[in-house]
Chains A and B, each alone.
Chain A
Amino acid sequence: MVDMPAQNPQRIVLPPHRERARRPRIVRLREWARRNLFNSRAGTALTIVTAIILGLLIYGVIYFVFVDANWRVITDNRWLLFAGGYPMDQEWRLWFSVGFVFLLIGLTYGTWASLGRRDHLFIVLASGFAILLLAHGGAAIWSTLWYLIAVGLLYAGYAITIRMPREAGPGRTLQQRSVAGLLIAALPIVLIVLLAFGGARPRELEGFVLNLVLAPVGIAGGLVIAIPLALGRASRMKAISWTCTTYIEVVRGAPLLGWLFVALFILDDVIGGELIVRAMVVLAVFTAAYMAEYIRGALQALPGGQSEAAHAVGLNQFQSMQLIVMPQALRISIPPMVGQAISIWKDTTLVTVILPLRELKGNADSAIAQFEFTPDRIEAYVFVAVVFWVVAFIMSRISQRVEGSLGIGER
């Protein structure tokens, strides 16, 4: 081949580029408004009514948050709401766990998804919210520092993993396996950090920390029970399938509240032990019944050719389940599973109603039971609601991102 001359004499002549007249932004905006907001007389009326209602609402919220509300009910009870009876001198254990979990969230994000603009915005807002509340009380400067370190870890985990190559290959596989392994190990690690080697006694887990412990145990435990349950229900052996079906129908047939009563009174005689352990068992058993049904649905949605192909390459029934069918079924069932996870996250508040376990909402009740804060119950409950919403939203966000990037294996 002859070397190309450094300057290619042949210029490609493009036809004259016609700049498409871009109308000014305000004109486009006006047209958009006409099409979407004022397209008819009724539409205009609806728009105006909605705008008035929205305006009143927003004004109300802003007035309440910045003028009317007495947030001292939160800031003065910061520790009560956050960790309750957890020994204060062991605070580092809580923050170590928070940092570890934040790091994991970052690693998960970076490995399977990339953060959108909205995610960054959301993390910053949530952090700002948390820091404002934590820092307000005066003595909380250390908490703020801890929290900032945790957010830093989140971004560090993200920054490290997002730069790693995405193409399939041994390195990528190793990365995915390590993060997945850490995710599986996270719950036991956190429990050990919180409780073992001079940590708190189980009954000293309180406040927000208790919700944060109960929900993952319920979700993870539920998943572990749900997989064999789903397979059992689909089994051809009648005894197994009937047993599993009965379990699912009985558990789903009664409200969680009812099962927590069972934990309080009946399980006391059967397994005894710590109340918190009983609550965990009930949450896991309850979640499992729902998750099993989602998995069963996914199993049915999977094309039969998959297990046939697995058998044709010589895999036995167990290997076919473990390597081919289950991974795909679990992926299909991610959206309803996350719904269930969010639902059980919120349902952790129920343990206060039945069992003398003091989670976030329970300790909010204690906060407003103090004489000086009795008028501030709305503030307390708004705070609790926002905290629950933030965590639920994080769960939903992560799952959406991860689900999107797992779509690579879709047919």
Chain B
Amino acid sequence: MTTETASMPARDLESAEDIIIAENVDKWFGDFQALDQISMRIKEHEIVVVLGPSGSGKSTFIRCLNRLEEHDSGRIVIDGIEMNDDVRNLNAIRSEVGMVFQQFNLFPHLSVMNNITLGPRKVRRMPKLDADALAMQLLERVGIPEQAEKYPAQLSGGQQQRVAIARALAMQPKIMLFDEPTSALDPEMIKEVLDVMQELARSGMTMIVVTHEMGFAREVADRLMFFDEGSLVEEGTPQHFFENPQEERTKLFLSQIL
């Protein structure tokens, strides 16, 4: 496995369709405005890394993309499906969007295998044998097939997060959201998770990643977005960000974390 982005199969982003469209999205928590007029378009196969200080709204934004948070105004369209109160739309969107959480949120009472097969079996009505085969395939992809029958509490943090990625992939989503996937991990386990994410990126998955891992952002991202105080302050290629950021707030943030 090489880690160079150049070796990726040519992902033709120019001709790709917009798979995520957000227009003037607002979100309030009581009197606090968490998102302020967020607009963006993300193409299929694109890898977007979202940066920003804590409380900047970056997590809230990606949680709006599968409606773990409900946006108050504006539009969100995922793969041509309007995000609204229609439950059918919501179910369709949720089965196209996988999510990986900072705290893994594996189901502690289910084995690794059952964590992964739950979605396919209950939502997609996949027969058990097929679901098990799919799960084993995914566990091999994330590098821990031998852990299939264990329970989450018996795994290390890095292994748990890889199971969480496999669980999300089991629904065969078109888009994967990562909400600070390595922030709760011990340093020596971060790489094993980032490697899996990198492999996923290479396979052509559309990914939105909230992270503080600048190495990952630089190497893997097609585009970076910087959030601050609920606004999308600046966006651009990694080159643009790391060599020539325009906004003062971006510069300040980057100077603090680099």
Q: Which A residues have a C-beta under 8 Å from some C-beta of B?
A: 167-169, 303, 305-306, 308-316, 319, 323-324, 327-328, 331, 408-411
The answer to whether B101 and A313 touch across the interface, beta carbons within 8 angstroms, is: no
Q: Which residues of chain A have C-beta atoms less than 8 A from B101's C-beta?
A: 305, 308-309, 312
Chain A residue with the shortest CB-CB distance to B113? A168
- Cα separation A314 to B91 with both chains bound (whole Å): 6
- Measured CB to CB, the closest approach of chain A to B128, in angstroms, equals 9
Shortest 3 CB-CB distances between A and B: which pairs? A313-B119, A309-B105, A305-B105
Q: Which residue of B lies closest to A409 (CB)?
A: B109
A313 contacts which of B103, B108, B152, B168 (Cβ < 8 Å)?
B168
Binding site for A on B (CB under 8 A): 66, 68, 87, 91, 94-95, 97-99, 101, 103, 105-111, 113, 118-119, 122-124, 149-153, 167-168, 170-171
Q: Please tell me if the beta carbons of B109 and A314 are within 8 angstroms of each other in the complex.
A: no
Give the A-B pair count, Cβ closer than 8 A.
80
Q: How far is the CA of A16 from the CA of B65 in the complex (A)?
A: 68
Could you write out 30 A-B pairs with CB less than 8 Å apart? A167-B149, A168-B111, A168-B113, A169-B149, A305-B101, A306-B105, A308-B101, A309-B106, A309-B107, A310-B107, A312-B66, A312-B68, A312-B97, A312-B99, A313-B94, A313-B118, A313-B119, A313-B123, A313-B168, A314-B91, A314-B119, A314-B124, A315-B118, A315-B122, A315-B123, A323-B118, A324-B107, A328-B109, A409-B152, A409-B153
Q: How far is the CA of A194 from the CA of B148 in the complex (A)?
A: 45
B91 and A411 form a contact (CB under 8 A): no
B149 & A327 in contact (Cβ 8 Å cutoff): no
> Which chain B residue lies CB-closest to A407?
B153
* Contact status B106-A328, CB under 8 Å: no
**How far is A309 from B101 in the complex, measured between Cα atoms in Å?**
8
- Given contacts A312-B99, A315-B122, A410-B153, are A306 and B107 in contact (CB under 8 A)? yes
Q: Is chain A's binding surface mostly helix, strand, loop or mixed?
A: helix
CA distance A404 to B118 in the complex (A): 25
B68: A residues at CB distance < 8 A: 308, 311-312
Query: Smallest CB–CB gap between B62 and chain A, Å?
Result: 11
Check A314/B99 contact, CB under 8 A, given A408-B151, A408-B153, A409-B108.
Answer: no
Residue from A168, A169, A309 whose CB has the most chain B CB atoms within 10 Å:
A309
**Chain B nearest CB, measured from A123 CB (Å):** 30
Q: How far is the CA of A143 from the CA of B68 in the complex (A)?
A: 62
Distance A309 CA – B98 CA, assembled complex (angstroms): 10
What residues of chain A lie closer than 8 Å to B118, measured between beta carbons? 313, 315, 323
Q: With A324-B107, A409-B109, A411-B108 as given contacts, are A314 and B151 in contact (CB-CB < 8 Å)?
A: no
* B168 touching A328, Cβ below 8 Å: no
Q: Which residues of A contact B97 (CB under 8 A)?
A: 312
Q: How distant is the Cα of A312 from the Cα of B107 in the complex, in angstroms?
A: 12
A314:B171 contact, CB within 8 angstroms: yes
Q: Which residues on A sit within 8 Å (CB–CB) of B106?
A: 309
- Distance in angstroms between the alpha carbons of A366 and B26 in the assembled complex: 75
New A-B pairs, 16, CB < 8 Å, besides A313-B94, A315-B122, A409-B151: A168-B111, A305-B103, A305-B105, A309-B101, A309-B106, A309-B107, A311-B94, A312-B66, A312-B68, A313-B170, A313-B171, A314-B94, A316-B87, A324-B107, A408-B151, A409-B110
B98, B111, B151: the one contacting A312 at CB < 8 Å is: B98
